[in-house]
Every structure is written in C-alpha cells, then in structure tokens.
C-alpha cells in the first residue's frame, strides 16, 4: 500500500468529529500535506485512479485485442491500424 493510501486510511479510521492534523499525518507517512488534504477532500484523484480513468479499454478488453492480433498474425494477415481501431471500438461498447 502506498504511503498516501495509508495516510488516508488513518484519517478514515478516526471517529466522526474526531480532530486530526493533515500536517502531522502527512509527516508521519512522508507525503505532502496539501496532496493528502486534497485527496481526502475529494479534490484530487490518486495517480493510480487517474491512470485507470484514462484507459480506453479495460484489462480484459486489452486481452481480447491481443488475442485478435495473435489470431490475425497466425493466419499471416498482419493487422492494419484501421482493423485494430474497428475491433477496439467494437469491444469497447
């Protein structure tokens, strides 16, 4: 688990209304207090989530695309960009 995730978990583990200091928790886990504050308040999204949100295909869809490419090359039919784009659009729906 990343230090930022551990820090967020510590904040969430506190009871409602229980006071805490972003600065102290951030220092304990070695993360920037502004980043911790923004992620906890929902203003920032962790990098891992940003990367997942930017993906056009899910990991399963990517595997299907790779399988499609392997089938085409196995038949000695090298896929062209348009073929891949069309198949990717088809499995993304």
pLDDT per position as a tens digit, 54-83: 777 888 999 999 999 999 999 999 899 999
pLDDT of residue 92: 82
Cα gap 7→40, rounded to integer Å: 9
DSSP three-state, residue 50: helix
Mean residue pLDDT of the chain comes to 87
First-to-last alpha carbon distance for the chain, in angstroms, is 33
Tokens representing 28?
């304990």
Domain regions of the chain by residue span: 3-53, 56-92
Q: What is the DSSP letter of 80?
A: P
pLDDT of residue 49: 73
Q: What is the DSSP letter of 8?
A: H
pLDDT of residue 16: 81
pLDDT of residue 66: 93
pTM check: above 0.85: no
């Amino acid at each position: 688990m990343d230090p930022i995730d551990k820090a967020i978990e510590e904040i969430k583990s506190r009871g409602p209304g229980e006071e805490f200091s972003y600065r102290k928790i951030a220092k304990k886990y070695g993360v920037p207090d502004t980043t911790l504050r923004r992620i906890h308040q929902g203003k920032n999204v962790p990098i891992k989530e940003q990367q997942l949100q930017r993906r056009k295909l899910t990991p399963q869809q990517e595997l299907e695309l790779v399988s499609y490419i392997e089938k085409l090359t196995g038949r000695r039919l090298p896929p062209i960009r348009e073929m891949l784009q069309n198949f990717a659009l088809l499995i993304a729906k």
